[in-house]
Structure 1
Amino acid sequence: MSDLEASPDRGTYSPGEPTRIRVSVPSRAGGRVRASFSHITTALAVLEGDIGVDGSVVLEWAPPPETPRGYGVDVEVWGPEDLPRMETSTAFDVLARWTDRPRYGFVTDFDAEDRAVETLDSLLPFHINALQFYDWQFRHDQLVAPQDRYEDPLGRPLSLGTVRGLVKEAADRGMASMAYAVIYAASLHFQRAHTKWALYDENGHPLEFEGFLGYMDPTPGRPWAEHLLQQCERAITELGFDGIHLDQYGEPRQAFDATGAEIDLPSAFRGFIEEFKGRLPSSTVTLNAVKNWPMEALAASREDFYYVELWPDTPTYREVLVTTNRAKEASLGKPVVVAIYVPADHPANVRLVDAVLLASGCSRIEIGERGRLLADPYFPRHQALSLELATALRRYWDVAVRYGDLLFYPKSAPSSDFLVEGLEGVWTTLRRTSRWLLVSMVNLGDLAEARWDHDHPSPKPIANAPVRIGGNVSISRAWWIDADGPLGQPQMVECSQEGGFTALRVPNLLYWGLLLCELARESPA
């Protein structure tokens, strides 16, 4: 097995920042390395260097300032002496704001042991550019603890020093830090001391969550909303957080205030976000749309990206696709991040979920805490990844970053413009710019109605399969990008014209691949 590794030193870069690619290959001390930088299919620069005695070298390049833009880096190592050549790939992007293309990770371990460097360095190969600090808070109604060492409401030992250290180290690696808070939850003690601030059911009973939290009225202008806004502002100013990740529990969807008047929760959620952005305009905010609720209110709000949490009542891959497409359509151009919990011992499910989401132009929160998998709605129950699955996910994120200019292009190609024929059981999503047509292919085979939360086998691989693409603009050249392969380089494929169609062959497709087509003439996208 190759010990060659390459990754950037930041989750994303701002315009004007130099890019540093660290190449590590302990078995090749004294050898040489060459890194080729490219944008889609255009070669931009080639750098070479000597591998040091520690088996590593850092290559620095100044990318163009245009944003948002993703780049590929293809690495080749040779020597010393006559040892065989080795190859790998990585990617990076330049963004004006991380929320232009969020790649959300998570941290949950905030005890006094200092693991910040290890934790965050493990996330660089996955290109994580923001972190949700899940359950970092002292209490739901008092986010910042009164002393350095404290316990969370479930008794986990935490440290403010650790939180501060993670925020600082994340910033040094081009990763934003988002403080977790629940928009309407307080300790039962706090709720009982502030009964006029609480939420009630139709019978006038205070609403509680799992016996240890009380629901509070988040309507803007009311006392709880003002209290929580002050707590959020304190977390940002005192600890350096870049923003707030607001949560809710999906239920109840009907609630009443202390006078018996019904509360419009979707409007309250949207209003709270408006108040937050008015008070903290440079800070990031998002609110979890649990089971895609309340989609319309959140999509129309000023939140910076749309975050949707899917549960097993959206059980099939087809329903995941339909739900996320609805979210994208409603989000008015905002990026969409999906939380969906798949255990690490279901590797085919993990890969297929990622393929469906990335192909549809969404990203997924899945990697955190020393490269572990988000597998449960209670984030501290993260799970270890096998080497094979970790490698596969790294490749997916390399491809997503490298070709992000097309994958996350805001306009999909109208179905009337192009027709893709020839691959049974393969879902296709099209993105079109003035120069490019990107056909993202997901191999569902007979798994389209399979449940993502039930273990299932890998889809049957497809090889050398004929494809025909028809449309109102012809295709001059085409490349295949195998997201499941060892390298992210585009491989040119032969294409010919057949009666208004472009005919070509897909070399191989396991879970996910991209057919990159250059249009014969430029036309408005």
Structure 2
Amino acid sequence: MKRSLALCLLLLTFLWGNAVYAVETTILVLPDKAFYRPGETVTLHVSASTGARVEATIRYLDETITTLSAPVAEGAARLEWQPEPLAPRGYGVDIRLLDADGLELATTSTAFDVLERWIQAPRYGFLSEFKPGRDNADETMSWAAQYHVNGLQFYDWQYRHETLLPPSEPYVDVLGRELSLETVKRLIDAAHERNIAAMPYTAIYGASMAFYREHPDWALFSSGERPFEFGENFLIIMDPTPGSPWATHLLGEFARVLDETAFDGIHIDQYGAPMRGRNSAGEMVSLEQVFPAFINEAAALVEAKRGDDSVVLFNAVRNWPVAAVAPSDVDAVYIEVWDPYRHFMDLPRLVSRAQELGGGKPVIIAAYIHPDRPHNVRLANALIFASGGYHLELGEPGAMLADPYFPQFGMMAPDVQATTRAYYDFLVRYENVLALGTTGAPDRAAALAIEGVMTNTRRSRDRVAVIARRGEGRETFSLINLMGIGGELWDEPLPNGPTPLRDLPVQLRVDAPVERLWYASPDDRDPQA
């Protein structure tokens, strides 16, 4: 018997123009946590420059779930609601600020989600400042939570690459920075208060010159007795083959970190080269084979220490060796993007391929874009989010990653902060049709056509990119405007954003009855569907 399927078709568009709005009344709403576990109460803190009352409408996709109300006292209001224990699920919150007569003074919106584990939707961020006396841990996590950042990589927190925990307090790292383990622990505790996971940076094979001199036969060699180096007189590459002395030592360091701190897992880095070498016995070592084997041993260790909440991440630098590590026991596929993946359209292709290789695991993209390139930031996020991926870029208050050495971050201008927050709100609000429970549907992307506009091409400019995803009873078509941008490369500054497009005739071929169609955009003042 032939059955028809009712579909809900979504057009999630990123076709922005430039708009300026006069603002006389200010209102800000912040969730108290980066995400909520099933059974937890959602608390929304509202601050307003005036007004007597706030009303909040909570929505799941295009469905109104409930309406909340609270008085404004001394410029603040508090809203509480306990969602049904359904996870994973993202919600939108639309706020109206009213005066004593019920007249609308201002509107704003935010989002929140309910997840069983943060890694289901890993909005991964970073911290890189651990100096003694840092006293803004709570403010840092409040800032991260307003962008829904639910996991933080503690970058270069360690004493040495081979000795992660310091021998004294405070301590000086290999680059001469004075750091404090007490600061690290305060940040971890503050993160946990807001349901933000804390992940310690480690490197799978980096060791100091001094450590190498003590253990010269633990290294990975390029030829003869010459070991691989990273940087000039900086680090020596060790042999991470499971069962090797270095691998055993490093796993012991992981265990010690998890025993003596409240870190939630292990983040493992590599440097993209070498790809192979020889051990001290002259035997060939293929890192493409070694990496997943080491990851699996690390994952077993972390699970033994942290149980079901354990997380292990591994950096596939330059997308290598993603085919080997994506199916391993990593909890998400993490890709640091470098040449040759420099075109804007390389970003969704990387996400889609990693999702396939990882069997549907989340994908985190580390693509470093300075916030003084706002058009690049906006387009990269649109392409990554529309593909169901996540972008490592936020964490330190007001900052955005701009360099592979995380302490060299850039500071966001107020307009970049506002736009970025709108995109993260949108990502969370519509995560059930952008990412969670969906798969890529490249065959369906060709079913959408825009009159007079090129869509079916691999180019990264002068087109509207169509990214299609399929979920249960739904199809999502994201339209990203690349018309008129001054270049195709995400890592080169764009002189201007896309040319605004309006009143576009859109044709969509369907092969089943359509129940309803709705539209939403992070570039609209009102993001509701």
Contact (CA 8 Å) 1:395, 1:486: kept in 2 or not? no
TM-aligned CA deviation for residue 84 of structure 1 = 5.0
Change in Cα spacing, 1:385 to 1:468, as seen in structure 2 (3 Å) is same
Q: Greater relative contact order: 1 or 2 (C-alpha under 8 angstroms, separation 6 or more)? A: 2
**Structure-1 residue corresponding to 2:292:** 270
**Structure-2 residue corresponding to 1:435:** 473
Question: Is 1:360 aligned to residue 387 of structure 2?
Answer: yes
Change in Cα spacing, 1:157 to 1:65, as seen in structure 2 (3 Å) is same
* 1:121-156 deviation line (CA, Å, top 9, x unaligned): 111111000000000001101111122201111111
Distance of 1:417 and 1:309 partners within structure 2: 26
* 1:233-289 deviation line (CA, Å, top 9, x unaligned): 111221100011100000111211111111111221111111112222132101100
**Structure-2 residue corresponding to 1:493:** none
Change in Cα spacing, 1:416 to 1:117, as seen in structure 2 (3 Å) is closer
Q: Within 5 Å, give how 1:392-431 maps onto structure 2.
A: 392-408=419-435, 409-413=437-441, 415=443, 419-422=447-450, 423-424=453-454, 425-431=463-469
State the AA in 1 paired with 2:119: T
TM-aligned CA deviation for residue 419 of structure 1 = 0.8
Distance of 2:444 and 2:525 partners within structure 1: 35
**Structure-2 residue corresponding to 1:7:** 30
* 1:337-386 deviation line (CA, Å, top 9, x unaligned): 00001111111011111111111111100111113101110000111101
Contact (CA 8 Å) 2:438, 2:471: kept in 1 or not? no
The counterpart of 2:63, out of the listed 34, 38, 42, is: 42
Contact (CA 8 Å) 2:44, 2:78: kept in 1 or not? yes
Q: Within 5 Å, give how 1:100-179 maps onto structure 2.
A: 100-112=120-132, 113-179=134-200
State the AA in 1 paired with 2:36: Y
Question: Is 1:261 aligned to residue 299 of structure 2?
Answer: no
* 1:409-456 deviation line (CA, Å, top 9, x unaligned): 332336169710114311111222333221111111144961111111
The range that moved more, 409-418 or 175-184, is 409-418
Segments of structure 2 that go 5 or more residues without pairing to the other structure are: 1-22, 455-462
Change in Cα spacing, 1:361 to 1:417, as seen in structure 2 (3 Å) is closer
The counterpart of 1:345, out of the listed 372, 375, 382, is: 372
- SS at structure 2 position matched to 1:307: strand
State the AA in 1 paired with 2:302: L
Contact (CA 8 Å) 2:432, 2:438: kept in 1 or not? no
Distance of 1:157 and 1:252 partners within structure 2: 30
Question: Is 1:462 aligned to residue 462 of structure 2?
Answer: no
Question: Is 1:221 aligned to residue 243 of structure 2?
Answer: yes
Contact (CA 8 Å) 2:445, 2:477: kept in 1 or not? no
State the AA in 1 paired with 2:522: A
State the AA in 1 paired with 2:38: P
Contact (CA 8 Å) 2:468, 2:478: kept in 1 or not? yes
**Structure-1 residue corresponding to 2:523:** 484
Change in Cα spacing, 1:459 to 1:136, as seen in structure 2 (3 Å) is same
Question: Is 1:195 aligned to residue 216 of structure 2?
Answer: yes
State the AA in 2 paired with 1:444: L
**Structure-1 residue corresponding to 2:93:** 73
**Structure-2 residue corresponding to 1:389:** 416
Change in Cα spacing, 1:414 to 1:84, as seen in structure 2 (3 Å) is closer
The range that moved more, 168-177 or 80-89, is 80-89
Distance of 1:137 and 1:250 partners within structure 2: 21
Distance of 1:233 and 1:52 partners within structure 2: 49
- SS at structure 2 position matched to 1:260: coil
Distance of 1:229 and 1:487 partners within structure 2: 49
**Structure-2 residue corresponding to 1:512:** none
Contact (CA 8 Å) 2:318, 2:339: kept in 1 or not? no
Distance of 1:347 and 1:417 partners within structure 2: 27
Change in Cα spacing, 1:36 to 1:316, as seen in structure 2 (3 Å) is same
Distance of 1:323 and 1:174 partners within structure 2: 29
* 1:17-73 deviation line (CA, Å, top 9, x unaligned): 011111111x11x610011111111111111001121x1122110001111110111
- SS at structure 2 position matched to 1:93: strand
TM-aligned CA deviation for residue 471 of structure 1 = 1.4
State the AA in 2 paired with 1:190: F
Distance of 2:527 and 2:168 partners within structure 1: 48
TM-aligned CA deviation for residue 80 of structure 1 = 4.8
Among all aligned residue pairs of Structure 1 and Structure 2, give the percentage whose two residues are the same amino acid: 39
State the AA in 1 paired with 2:26: D
Count of aligned residue pairs for this structure pair: 487
**Structure-1 residue corresponding to 2:253:** 231
Contact (CA 8 Å) 1:395, 1:485: kept in 2 or not? no
Distance of 1:183 and 1:36 partners within structure 2: 47
